[in-house]
Homo-oligomer: A and B are copies of this chain.
Amino acid sequence: MTESESVNVDLEIIVQGAQEGKKLELRLWLRMLSTTKLISQEIRRRLRNEFGATLPQFDLMAQLYRERDGLRLGELSKRTMVTNGNVTGLVERLETDGLVRRATPDGDRRVTVAKLTERGVELFGAMAAAHEGWLRDMMADVDPAIITELWQDIGEVKTSVSNHLSGNDFD
């Protein structure tokens, strides 16, 4: 059936054309998402294999590493973009692993402050160094100028998105 074949070809051309006509924003989003997933999975695998840690744990510890006096769980929640309930569980597991210690300040007994233990500081230091190296390796083929440019332009995207959220706004 040469006719139906040629019809199919035409359809494919049309579809292709339409796909490239796929909205720019959607196309960018799909690529951002898949790239981020790819990198996350690689980092996750390596954190697991080399340090027995998870990515969320790493993120949380990174915040506590910066603020050596500790942070309230709510503050941790904001900085890691993770819900309150989730922070509870994360900190709980890190505490049983001896990497984090929880304490309630005398001033306000509603509050719980999480702080890295010595072991936590030590472990995170090692993980952070490795983590940075992994990223450098993964992006080794990308021109540094492009990396800087990407950083700036993604900043613009982030700003735009922040200004167009439906629910609660900024913070």
Contacts and interface: CB of A to CB of B under 8 A. Distances in A.
Given A39-B161, A161-B38, A166 B46 contact: yes
A146 B153 contact: yes
A161 B7 CA distance: 39
Nearest to A128: B26
A151 B36 contact: no
Given A23-B135, A29-B135, A140 B160 contact: yes
A124 to B, nearest CB: 14
Interface in A85-139: 131-132, 135-139
Interface of A, helix, strand, loop or mixed by DSSP: helix
Given A136-B23, A161-B138, A150 B150 contact: yes
Contacts of A141: 156, 159-160, 163-164
A45 B166 CA distance: 9
Contact of A31 (B45, B158, B164): B158
B139 A81 contact: no
Interface of A: 23-29, 31-42, 45-46, 81, 131-132, 135-144, 146-151, 153-167
